[in-house]
Amino acid sequence: AQTVTQSQPEMSVQEAETVTLSCTYDTSENNYYLFWYKQPPSRQMILVIRQEAYKQQNATENRFSVNFQKAAKSFSLKISDSQLGDTAMYFCAFMKRPGAGSYQLTFGKGTKLSVIP
Amino acid sequence: ETGVTQSPTHLIKTRGQQVTLRCSSQSGHNTVSWYQQALGQGPQFIFQYYREEENGRGNFPPRFSGLQFPNYSSELNVNALELDDSALYLCASSSRTGKSEAFFGQGTRLTVV
């Protein structure tokens, strides 16, 4: 079974500054995907960024980037130039690379990020 | 907007009753997953449907059941509701081609009293 741990229940950052959210996971799988999802007060889970474990290059999406350390089973999210709209719960999630099986996501407990004007 | 819609948005039920939640998947997506998110927690996987059959199940009792229809929409049914079933229920749809990403609906907030 896979587990995902987010050790920072809450964080805050000044607008325009950079913040890093931490995530560690435990798995015996070699091929898998990792995700960061954002959940604003509207409740809808929004995909922020995706990383495939077999790719050594860290994923980036505009202001969002990850630091993926496969050996350490670490997957942190860096948000640059933080904006007020980034205020939300952030969830780290794991998915085994699906063959014919389930596309099940395993989530961490989340980090509540507040961007301060 | 992800194209995944859930209904209703809010629901209040009494302990012991039964409830049905509905989800319309994004166009072109043939896989639907359901998650339960208790207050202050991350979502927990309930089960998944692919081509109208259950294709993976989390640690939930049999009173949680589901259906998927030919148009890939889905229902989650919960029988004999308990107070602990109060949660946000999220539906996610995926395509089995491409990036294996899950797109979520806005959820149904179920309160059991």
Q: Tell me what percent of the residues of chain A surpass a pLDDT of 90.
A: 80
Q: Do B105 and A44 touch (CB under 8 A)?
A: yes
pLDDT reported for residue A99: 63
Maximum separation of any 2 CA atoms in chain B, in Å: 42
Distance from chain centroid for Cα A63: 14
List residues bridging with A79 in a β-sheet.
Answer: A19, A64
**pLDDT tens digits for B16-73?**
999 999 999 888 888 999 999 999 999 999 999 988 999 889 999 999 999 999 988 9
Task: Give the chain B residue nearest A45 (alpha carbons).
Answer: B104
Q: Give the whole-angstrom CA distance, residue A80 versus residue A83.
A: 9
Interchain CB contact of A109 with B (< 8 Å): yes
Residues in B touching A98 (Cβ below 8 Å): 96, 100
Q: In the structure, what pLDDT confidence band is assigned to residue A101 with cuts at 50, 70 and 90? A: low
Distance from CA of B25 to the nearest CA of A (A): 14
- Secondary structure letter of residue B51 according to DSSP: T
Q: In the structure, what pLDDT confidence band is assigned to residue A58 with cuts at 50, 70 and 90? A: very high
Q: For residue B104, which amino acid is it? A: F
Q: In the structure, what pLDDT confidence band is assigned to residue B1 with cuts at 50, 70 and 90? A: low
Task: Give the chain A residue nearest B31 (alpha carbons).
Answer: A103
Residue owning tokens 């009494």:
B14
**pLDDT tens digits for A31-50?**
899 999 999 988 889 999 99
pLDDT reported for residue A36: 97
pLDDT reported for residue B98: 64
* pLDDT over 70 (residue B84): yes
pLDDT reported for residue B28: 80
* pLDDT over 70 (residue A116): yes
- Secondary structure letter of residue A28 according to DSSP: S
Spatial contact of A108 and A5, defined as CB atoms under 8 Å apart: yes
Q: Give the whole-angstrom CA distance, residue A54 versus residue B109.
A: 37
pLDDT reported for residue B27: 81
> What is the rounded end-to-end Cα distance, in angstroms, of chain B?
31
